[in-house]
Amino acid sequence: MLNIENLHVQVDSKPILQGISLDVQAGEVHAIMGPNGSGKSTLSHVLAGRSGYEVTGGRVTYKGQNLLDMKPEERAREGVFLAFQYPVEIPGVSNIYLLKAALNAVRRHRGDSEVDAMDFLQLVRGKIKALNLDEQFLYRGINEGFSGGEKKRNEILQMAVLEPSLCILDETDSGLDIDALKIVADGVNSLRSPEHSFILVTHYQRLLNYIKPDVVHVLAQGRIVKSGGPELALELESKGYGWIDQSAAASV
Amino acid sequence: MNYAEQFRQLAPLLPGRHLDWLEALRRAGEARFATGGFPSPREEEWKYTNVAPIEKKLFKPAAGESARVDKATLERYRLPEAWSLVFVDGVYAKDRSITAGLPEGVVLPLAEALERSPEQAEAFFHKIAAREEHGFVAFTTAYFRDGALIHVPAGLRLEKPLQIIHVATRPDGLSVLRHLIAVERNAEARVIETYIGTGSASYLTAAVTEIHLDENAGLEHIKLQIETDKAYHFGGIYAEQARSARLRQHHAAFGGLLARTEIHSELGHGAECELDGLFLATGRRHLDTHTLLRHRAPQAISRESYRGIAAGRGRGVFSGRIVVHQDAQKTDAEMSSRNLLLSEDAEIDSKPQLEIHADDVKCAHGVTVGQLDSSAVFYLQSRGVDELSARNMLTFAFANEMVEKIRPDSLKHQVQSALLAALPQADIREDWL
Ligand SMILES: Nc1ncnc2c1ncn2[C@@H]1O[C@H](COP(=O)(O)OP(=O)(O)OP(=O)(O)O)[C@@H](O)[C@H]1O
Ligand SMILES: [Mg+2]
């Protein structure tokens, strides 16, 4: 599904990612943990195609294509989805408008016809109920005045409607209460299948109680310094990052 | 040939010639216009707007009866739930208007009122606009052809909105109108002024609306200006609010080549005034909005919120002035002007001015001029929307936040359509909104 090879990225001539390699097979769930400022969001943004990052080395292959050559919207239509750590507020465009625009962009790209208005409403109503969001949310501006937790659930709503192949969740669990965390985890688990892969960026082992990862990586100072099974997350929870890489710990 | 000579020939067409008080006002207006002409950029309040192109031309008022107007155009802008008075090239078109069911004597074309109940017109005509000094107002006083007289008696709540539809059809045509709106104590009304044009030629519309709000009266007034690309437009909306009177004014300007709208109000004790507005200066349009709120007595509240967008070589001007007079303690005034520039050649000048002569007041103002937020563009792209559409969506969103405030829904949708038609490369799906 996704292959990252020795990826180097800098921002304003400041190196941030310094040789990341990661291989995510179809159907796998990878968790990425690591101290603040280690480059997790940078990696997420580069995968989604945000401008302002300069790739100075390495390559990223997604479903056999050079991902870095594609525009952000092309990546989205090909099934790459980023749930933002800080979703933006866009007053004046309703959530439902964006959902429709996004879903139809994906469908057109696949050569499918646009979704029928009634079918669409039914689809969205089902998903929104599962996420325990009020239907009124659909008609509000995108994330406008949403609480932190509501914004995160809204990201998951978009993901649930679009059913992307590669879902990158950047700290979607941060700021969620226990119930919301379960709801978000259910959203991910219900999409989990051999066709869908996940990269979960998180600071807390808590999320991984609900979504069991195949692999856990530790990102520090722009490199993956350790990878392991789900037990690695438990170990990090109790010991912190210091024991892995003293120099990384010093910068926290 | 100039306007004075032109109107001398058309003198019999101007209404109310038999009324001495009106004749005197007309003559004073004519004299003022003859010496001063239209305002020039040398005047402080006109420094961003040069009306020389209007001065160079001689627009001609319609002769006889009102011209025929394309039915489809008219119906596109007529609100199904409103009464309507239609003016074609400044002349009342009775057969196009819908007045059935209006309470007797509440709404009359001004020319008719000057015949049938001149004392009613006299009570309100040029009482407020007299304060406005410049040539456009004098021009309309001298040469107005017709207008609407809306007089809502005490305690009456007009159940449906009244829409005044202005259609310009003739090349080089001139429409000059004076509207009077008087809402008595505890009465309420909703008035919508729609300005449209057909054809592609240039024309001039000059309209002045005077609004008298008695104690505790309420008026919702909406102006939609979607004149054609070569049109010139001047509109003055001048209000006076007695104790506790409420005015909600909304102004949407998407059309015209050169258009200026003035919205001025004087607020009495505890009066409330809410001004919302949106202008969209695309192509080579020059759109100027000038607001002036005078808090004359204590405890009045004003809320002013304007948005402007300029694209292409468009130019927008917003001057918002608030004057708090010495006696107006406990004034609560807020003004904001947010502006979006979509191209290098576009320009917006936003000039808020607060003039405060009382000491116990709450006044705030804010101005921003910026570009589209790149993180919002990226957010939409990351959901599969291409960059151009994302930009259009965000531009629409910025404007739509203002449009969302418009009632009734039928008018809101109309304004949304007009907005979409005017936006650069719009590809927003209206049926999804
Ligand atoms: N646009 C930018 N300009 C300058 N520095 C940047 C920029 N974006 C990211 N950085 C820097 O890159 C480093 C990595 O940031 P990033 O947001 O990827 O960290 P993170 O691992 O997601 O941290 P957190 O856990 O706090 O979310 C930080 O030191 C940050 O300050
Ligand atoms: Mg981050």
Which of B6, B63, B61, B13 has its CA nearest to residue B33?
A: B6
pLDDT attached to residue B69: 86
Ligand lying nearest the CA atom of residue A170? 2
pLDDT attached to residue A246: 52
- The enclosing H or E element of A105 equals helix A95-110
Pocket flag, ligand 1, residue A119 (CB < 6 Å) = no
| Token digits of residue B2 | 């100039």
Which of B367, B42, B44, B55 has its CA nearest to residue B234?
A: B55
Distance between CA B399 and CA B397 in Å, rounded? 5
Q: Name beta bridge partners: A224.
A: A219
- Which portions of chain B are predicted below pLDDT 70? 66, 426
Distances (CA, A) of B22 to A102, B25, B122, B137, B410: 62, 5, 8, 15, 38
Residue A249 reports pLDDT greater than 60: no
Residue range(s) defining the domain that contains residue A142: 2-251
Distance between CA B250 and CA B248 in Å, rounded? 7
Answer whether B396 sits within 8 Å of A87, measured CB to CB. no
Pocket flag, ligand 1, residue A12 (CB < 6 Å) = yes
Q: Judge if the upstream peptide bond of residue B171 is cis by omega within 30 degrees of 0.
A: no
pLDDT attached to residue A251: 40
| Token digits of residue A137 | 């949310």
Residues A86-120: tens digit of each pLDDT: 999 999 899 999 999 999 999 999 999 999 989 99
Distance between CA B178 and CA B192 in Å, rounded? 15
Alpha-carbon gap: B355 to the closest alpha carbon of chain A (Å): 32
Indicate the Cα dihedral angle B347, B352, B353, B356, nearest 10°. Answer: 180
Which of A83, A86, A48 has its CA nearest to residue A175?
A: A86
Distance between CA B175 and CA B168 in Å, rounded? 8
Largest CA distance in chain A: 57
Pairing assessment for the beta strands A90-94 and A80-83 based on DSSP bridges: unpaired
Mean pLDDT over A158-166 rounds to 96
Report the separation in Å between the CA atom of A203 and the middle of ligand 1, taken as the mean of its atom positions: 15
Chain A residues with CB-CB distance to B420 below 8 A: none
Which of B180, B183, B248 has its CA nearest to residue B209?
A: B180
Answer whether B378 sits within 8 Å of A72, measured CB to CB. yes
Q: What is the mean pLDDT of chain A?
A: 93
| Token digits of residue B404 | 């969302």
DSSP string, A9-41: EEETTEEEEEEEEEEE-TT-EEEEE--TTSSHH
Confidence of residue A224 (pLDDT cuts 50, 70, 90): very high
| Token digits of residue A10 | 């800098």
CB atoms within 10 A of CB B63: 11
Distance between CA A177 and CA A155 in Å, rounded? 16
Using a CB–CB cutoff of 8 Å, tell me whether A37 touches chain B.
no
CB atoms within 10 A of CB B371: 10
Whether B57 contacts B50, CB under 8 Å: no
Whether B146 contacts B114, CB under 8 Å: no
Per DSSP, A52 falls in state T
Pocket flag, ligand 1, residue A11 (CB < 6 Å) = yes
Distance between CA B313 and CA B36 in Å, rounded? 30
Distance between CA A170 and CA A183 in Å, rounded? 16
Whether A63 contacts A78, CB under 8 Å: yes
Report how many domains make up chain A: 1
Whether B99 contacts B161, CB under 8 Å: no
CB atoms within 10 A of CB A226: 19
Pocket flag, ligand 1, residue A42 (CB < 6 Å) = yes
Smallest Cβ distance to A76: which of B376, B383, B399?
Answer: B383
Ligand lying nearest the CA atom of residue A84? 2
Q: Residue B4 CA to chain centroid, in angstroms?
A: 26
Ligand 1 pocket test, candidate residues A12, A18, A41, A168, most atoms within 8 A of CB: A41
Smallest Cβ distance to B397: which of A92, A101, A158?
Answer: A92
Closest C-alpha residue for ligand 1 atom 7: A11
Collapse the DSSP code of A193 into the 3-class scheme (helix H, G, I; strand E, B; otherwise coil) and give the result: strand
Report the separation in Å between the CA atom of A38 and the middle of ligand 2, taken as the mean of its atom positions: 8
Pocket flag, ligand 1, residue A15 (CB < 6 Å) = no
Ligand 1 pocket test, candidate residues A10, A11, A20, A85, most atoms within 8 A of CB: A11
Collapse the DSSP code of B379 into the 3-class scheme (helix H, G, I; strand E, B; otherwise coil) and give the result: helix
Alpha-carbon gap: B310 to the closest alpha carbon of chain A (Å): 18
- Look at the block and give the residue holding tokens 């919508």: B192
Whether B401 contacts A91, CB under 8 Å: yes
Alpha-carbon gap: B417 to the closest alpha carbon of chain A (Å): 15
Report the separation in Å between the CA atom of B301 and the middle of ligand 2, taken as the mean of its atom positions: 44
CA angle (A176 as vertex; A175, A178 as ends), nearest 5: 140
More confident: B318 or A204: B318
Question: Quick one: A248 exposed, middle or buried, by C-beta within 10 A (0-12, 13-18, 19+)?
Answer: buried
* Burial annotation B346-367 (CB, 10 A radius, 16+ → b, else e): bbbbbebeeebebeebebeeeb
Residues A6-65: tens digit of each pLDDT: 999 999 999 999 999 999 999 999 999 999 999 999 999 999 999 999 999 999 999 999
Chain B residues with CB-CB distance to A49 below 8 A: 381-382
Per DSSP, B290 falls in state E
Using a CB–CB cutoff of 8 Å, tell me whether B73 touches chain A.
no
Identity of the residue numbered B149: L
ipTM metric: 0.95
Pairing assessment for the beta strands A197-201 and A29-33 based on DSSP bridges: parallel
Strands laid side by side in the A2-11 sheet: A14-24, A2-11, A54-62, A65-66
Distance between CA B233 and CA B406 in Å, rounded? 22
Distance between CA A52 and CA A212 in Å, rounded? 33
- The enclosing H or E element of A198 equals strand A197-201
Distance between CA B115 and CA A145 in Å, rounded? 56
- The CATH number assigned to the domain holding A125 equals 3.40.50.300
Collapse the DSSP code of A173 into the 3-class scheme (helix H, G, I; strand E, B; otherwise coil) and give the result: coil
Residues A124-135: tens digit of each pLDDT: 999 999 888 889
